[in-house]
Amino acid sequence: MAERSFRKEVQQLRIGAGETFRGEGILAITKALLENGVGYVGGYQGAPISHLMDVLADAEDILAELGVRFEANASEAAATAMLAASVHYPIRGAVTYKGPVGANVASDALANLASGGVKGGALVIVGEDYGEGSSIMQERSHAYAMKSGIWLLDPRPNLPSITEAVRNGFELSEASNTPVMMMVRIRACHVHGAFEARDNVAPPLSVRDALSNPQRDTSRIVLPPYSYRHEQEKVTQRLPAALDHIRAHGLNERFGPETAPVGIVVQGGMYNGLIRALQRLGLADLHGDSLVPLYVMNVAYPVVEDEFLEFAEGKEAVLVVEEGTPGFIEQALRAALHKAGSARTIEGKGVLPEAGELTGRVMLDGVARFLRAHAPGLLPAEVRAPNRDAPPPAPDLSDAVPIRPPGFCTGCPERPIFAAMKLVEEELGQHQVAGDIGCHLFSTMPPFFIGGTTMGYGLGGASNAAFDGGGEKRSISIMGDGGFWHNGLTSSIGNAVFNRSDGVTIIVDNYYSAATGGQDVMSSRADNPSKSTGHPISKALEGVGVGWIRQIDRTYDVTKMRDTLREALTTDHAGPKVIIASSECMLNRQRRERPQLQAAIREGRRAEKPKFGVDEEVCTGDHACMRLSGCPSLTLKMPDDPLRDDPVAYIDQTCVGCGNCGEVADAAALCPSFYRADLVHNPRRFEAWLARLRARVIAWLQGRRDARRLTWGTAEGQG
């Protein structure tokens, strides 16, 4: 069960010609796939296209009606390999993943696919996670298109353009026998907009039909002598075909006047940002009609050189607006001008920053800088020669405003794992710790400060391989269940077994691929109608020969977690030691249980709801518990006691009663301030009677004591 449900939204996928679709970018892409007769879809989740996978999963019945196969692939490599169905069969296929991390994983299959080429349209939808809010290394997926010789679409970020690009992508792929990547940036994936729908089209040849009538063509295999021919084919046949198609169908767009002293070349995805800058400079109107000629490259690769040369004709200078480094497009355009013997000026990196997101201010300043140098007449006087002082810099509040990096959610079952690691660290000293990809990586942030590398999905264990030989202390690697099934079983665990690693691996099993939005994985406990779940990680470990396995079924038991980790670090067992720390992702658990609880309360059934609390009088305000938690619901407040200086711990209403606070206080012997209060709704009669009896006895005891001492009424208990 994914974090976000699109059950309601996917109904829009059924609409047909004459109707208007309203919704998010990812949903629009799905609709466009159906309108273009796609035969199979798949991919691997990760922001910003996690929701595309969720949409596909939620739309499985709609896909089935059309005869479209949906596969939740094990990895991006698996997804790309699936496009092999378009090699011999005229079936359109589309897969999606997060780029460039997805492209990294996919590159083996991608290169093989690109070499042999395709018969049916093959589309890779890459969610470019670049700039603000990104959680990955800042690289460009563009390089993959160039090195494998596949085409890269980068459509303007509005729903009509994006959905058009899906159609163009399939057609371009088929016209040039080449897979096509379509890049959608993070905010475009989640942009809310509208487009005119068309009817859905069932694939002319379904994958089921293809199975009945197998086909093969030896010349598509990546083996000599064919692989040499593929290389030639790419440049002599596929590229020219692609260039013709792009030109003939006007995939790139031109806006603005035919003649002008300057022009701007822009990646499709950067179009809106550029228009906003031109609007603010008075050079474009509300609808984007521009006084500066624009060449919008909805196809970022390959560059249609003659089209560009034609655009550049008669202009003194051309600005290339290209986000990210290196500036591949700028390099290609410079080369084109050079080959053509043209002396026109190209500006790009330099006027605009070499690296980093082209945000509003950056774009505005860059375009203004370019125009100031090459067409000052177009600029308003105050921009041309600013005689006013620049606006005062924004006030520096860095002392007051705290950093707020992402962290574990309230009640996260991973928190106690790292609390336990902290406790072991106190006893046995610091250890070499390697992380993986997944929520657990938040352990590097405050308050835990554990681990400092992440080498890729499922590669946590592998990244400690240099330390496999062991030493005075053991290395520790951490991996999520998502990473384990993605790649970790072979690359990290198998590797460790084979090389007789002495290291310790902690596998965080939270029942889902939680970091990407709670999609099911093989070891998920939930029943999934279309997927096979319930395959325990421990069995897989046994299967590949791990001899020391500890399964912890309640990570919140910090004491057990700590003792198990200590055992792993000190046992004399030879070979890898693996701890499976397993508790359900709280975000998903709450999503499932909260409605059930509310229903029970409403219907008068007995239901329990836990919450933790702190005795204000007992808490001394040292905040040791905070340094082992970081839970959003465990916070601070000033005590009512005027004699005290420091704020005390306080648990707010968002607490889900996971138990971490109490267990940590217990395991670390911190303090006795924490209590758990279980609210019992609709108690049974006997239970209620017993509680009343207990309360009476307790009240009698309390009264007896208070009769012999001084007490203050309302302020009682406030220190």
Partner 1 sequence: MNAALGELTPGRPDSRLSGIVKLAIFAVGGQGGGVLNGWIVDLAERNGFDVQATSVAGVAQRTGATIYYIEMLPRSGRAPVFALAPAEGDVDILLAAELMEAGRAVMRGFVTPDRTRVIASSHRALATVEKMVPGNGAGDGQAVMRALRDQAAGVVAFDMQAIAEEAGTVISSALFGALAGSGHLPFEVESFRDTVRASGRGVEASLAAFERACAEAQGAAGAGGEAQAGEEAEEPAGAERPRGPERLLAEYTAQEGRIAELPEPVRATVAAGLRKLVRFQDPAYGAEYLDRLEVLARADHDAGGAAHDFAFTATAAKYLANAMAYDDIIRVADAKTRVGRFDRIRSEVDAPPRALTRVTEYTHPGSAEVVSLMPAGLGRRVEARPGLVRFIDRLVNRGRHIRSDRIGGFVSLYMLAGLRRWRRGLLRHGREMAHIESWLDTAQGRVSRDYALAVETLRARRLIKGYSDTHIRGLSKFDRVMAGIAMVEHRDDAAEWARRLIDAALADEKGEALDGARKTIESFA
Near partner 1 by CB under 8 A: residue from 132, 389, 572, 603: 132
Cα(156)–Cα(164) distance, integer angstroms: 10
- The sign of the dihedral angle between the CA atoms of 563, 564, 568, 574 is positive
Q: Which is nearer to partner 1, 149 or 630 (CB)?
A: 630
Q: Does 289 bind partner 1 (CB under 8 A)?
A: yes
The CB-of-205 to partner 1 minimum distance in angstroms stands at 36
- HSE toward the beta carbon, residue 28, CA cutoff 13 A: 28
Q: Does 632 bind partner 1 (CB under 8 A)?
A: yes
Stretch that binds partner 1, among 12-20, 79-87, 219-227, 613-621 (CB under 8 A): 613-621
Q: Does 321 bind partner 1 (CB under 8 A)?
A: no
The CB-of-464 to partner 1 minimum distance in angstroms stands at 23
- Binding track over 647-676 against partner 1, x by CB under 8 A: x-----x-------xxx-xxxxxxxx-xxx
Q: Does 343 bind partner 1 (CB under 8 A)?
A: no
Q: Does 472 bind partner 1 (CB under 8 A)?
A: no
The CB-of-305 to partner 1 minimum distance in angstroms stands at 21
Binding to partner 1, residues 513-552 (CB under 8 A):
515-516
Near partner 1 by CB under 8 A: residue from 193, 261, 353, 575: 193
Stretch that binds partner 1, among 146-154, 536-544, 548-556, 637-645 (CB under 8 A): 637-645
Instruction: Look at the chain and count its residues.
Output: 719
Q: Which is nearer to partner 1, 117 or 451 (CB)?
A: 451
With a CB cutoff of 8 Å and minimum separation 6, the contacts of 274 are 264, 266, 294, 321, 363, 367
Cα(13)–Cα(28) distance, integer angstroms: 8
List, in sequence order, the alpha helices (H) in 49-125: 50-58, 60-66, 76-82, 85-88, 101-116
Q: Which is nearer to partner 1, 410 or 495 (CB)?
A: 410
The CB-of-391 to partner 1 minimum distance in angstroms stands at 7
Torsion of CA 488, 493, 499, 502, to 10 degrees: 120
Q: Does 226 bind partner 1 (CB under 8 A)?
A: no
Cα(479)–Cα(407) distance, integer angstroms: 17
- Binding track over 24-63 against partner 1, x by CB under 8 A: -----------------------xx-xx------------
Binding to partner 1, residues 386-415 (CB under 8 A):
391, 393-410
Cα(14)–Cα(384) distance, integer angstroms: 52
Q: Does 447 bind partner 1 (CB under 8 A)?
A: yes
Stretch that binds partner 1, among 329-337, 360-368, 491-499, 561-569 (CB under 8 A): 360-368
Determine how β-strand 433-434 pairs with β-strand 476-480.
parallel
Contact in structure between 476 and 508 (CB atoms under 8 Å): no
Q: Does 237 bind partner 1 (CB under 8 A)?
A: no
Give the angle subtended at the CA of 251 by the CAs of 245 and 254, to the nearest 5°: 130
According to DSSP, residue 210 is labeled: H
- With CA atoms as reference, report the closest residue to 515 among 129, 131, 189: 129
Q: Which is nearer to partner 1, 192 or 535 (CB)?
A: 192
Q: Which is nearer to partner 1, 109 or 479 (CB)?
A: 479
- With CA atoms as reference, report the closest residue to 354 among 325, 312, 395: 325
Q: Which is nearer to partner 1, 76 or 468 (CB)?
A: 76
